[in-house]
A and B are shown apart, each in its own frame.
Chain A
Amino acid sequence: MKKVLMYLAVILSVYGCQTVLENVPIPEIPQKAVVFGSIEVESLYHTLRVTKSKPILNNSTSSGFDAITDAQVTVTSGAQIYTFTYSPTIELYEYRGMIDLSSGEAQLAVNTISLGRLTSRVTVPAKLSTYTLMVDSLVREYETEYAVQFTVPASGNAEYYRLDGYLTYATDTFSSYSTNEYHTNKTELNKELKVKSTFYKWDDKNGSSSDLYVRLSRISEEYYKYGKALENYEPNNPFAEPIPLPNNVDGGLGVFGISRSKIIRIN
């Protein structure tokens, strides 16, 4: 009898843990078009990705997301309209050439056949005029650590920055992504902003060396919010309140941003 009770308790413990809920009325949500992309000022190549959202329930996670390949995608700045075309190779909408953003604003329009029209309007961040760069390095056996700090003078306006870095190897064109950080002076408009991060450069045993490039970008506000939100994005904590990600696309989901970058090689 004792054994029976013990086995019963063990079975109940396992059985009692997890239940698939069936016939639970779940609110329905319409499928939406999703667009992500950013225009780099003075760049000659720009891409945008347009996909479809899908219901979570009754879909598998491995099936991926359907790209929308037949949308009309344009970016308008001032009187100029720039049309993006879909590239099946890279599964992105691309535009080759410079986009003139001198009007100070860019409007994205994505017309889809089945999921309606998406629009977004973004203000072009001001030019990065003056800054001070300080680099401190610490050499170890197979790596060099660089503490990089940009000091940007106070402008009195809210500004948003992204700092990232790349390693390029002499032996090939491979670039290794290094770090990605977001900063703003929003809470202290009248104080100079220190944008800093630590980068590492690795030299392999065969003597193949790499070059480190850091890129300081002034970015649009929603671009910043999106990057910052992802830093804390932990969607799998069942106890935490959910974290809706920033969205600046009307009629759908996603983020459309603009950046102005300065790339510097660190020796």
Chain B
Amino acid sequence: MNIREIAAKCSRCGYCTTCPTYRIEGWETVSPRGKIQLTLKYLNGEINVDQKVVKDIFKCSVCGLCQEVCPVELPLIDFWEELRRELVQKGMAPLSVHRKLREITFRNYNPYSGDQERRGEWADFEIKPAKTLYFAGCTASFKLQNLAKSTASVLNKLGIDFTIAGKNEYCCGSPFLRTGQKDIVERLFEKNYRYWQKAGIERVITSCPGCYRTISLDYPRIAEEKGYEFDIEVVHTVSILDKMGVFERVNITAKATYHDPCHLGRHMGMYEEPRNVIRKLGIDFVEMERNREQALCCGAGGGLRSQFPEISFEIGRQRVIEAMETGAEYLITCCPFCEYHLSKSAEKLGNKIKVVDLVEIAERLISP
């Protein structure tokens, strides 16, 4: 289905008004239902959209909750991404900050302005060639290096022969796919793909759900468009921990809850693996009210945090409060971007709950 066909099938039932951004903003132009109706009119040539509406279309973290609750089962994640691409093609987007991030990434190959030459500096071990690549991603490479180190340590402890690409690892392109800027993604894909081919990579392990979704779902599509073969297995670290991890059981009584990252959960359907690992670790675990398919987004994805920080942090605040209401002292997640954003949100609420990545806990307790 193309976006016109998807829009035409919308029943306007309003179930998608559970959208976290709409719940904050409150106007129909921000609701998935409203955006879909305007898209249909726009594609039918009945209206012209202006910058206000374009901005409202981008007030969305592409968390996929609308797709989850849609009774007509519209593929809305694809819809938002395609719509954003259309707006970029027509010159109505990207929005200012998204454009800026694209410019930065064109120069630096990451959106954090990190020095590409120093991308692999977090690695405190000797890098040897291998057929399995640990793709750390931009956030773990430049912002949360402990996660990159913990992941590498876990892989070592599990006896997995792996390598890293260091300065030859480039942003996967996830932030740009979510914001309609496909041209730069193609460039980043080329850079990564060519290096992987040259290095003989057969398997990519990621600790970032955004990278995981992009490399496993979007890269094969791009490769197909370009006429390339894409025969690379893509795995998220949590799957490896679930399948291979044997742990010493944790001996603290602190309670913990788990936040489902949208790119791992609703985008990729991975809900039970992290919970299995949490159980294996013997953590006193409690679910949040909204979990798995119904989980509330952290608020950071889809370019929301960069362009609309006030909305993004309000969603983050709501999620941290929901976690605190469980009585948990730890909020575990499996995504560096969620961890980064929820930590900042928790900080604003007085650091009453500590946000941690599951890999970092597992690394400490994994049996050598």
Query: Do A and B belong to a common assembly?
Result: no
Q: What residues make up the interface of A, taking CB atoms closer than 8 Å to B?
A: none
B-side residues, CB < 8 A to A, are none
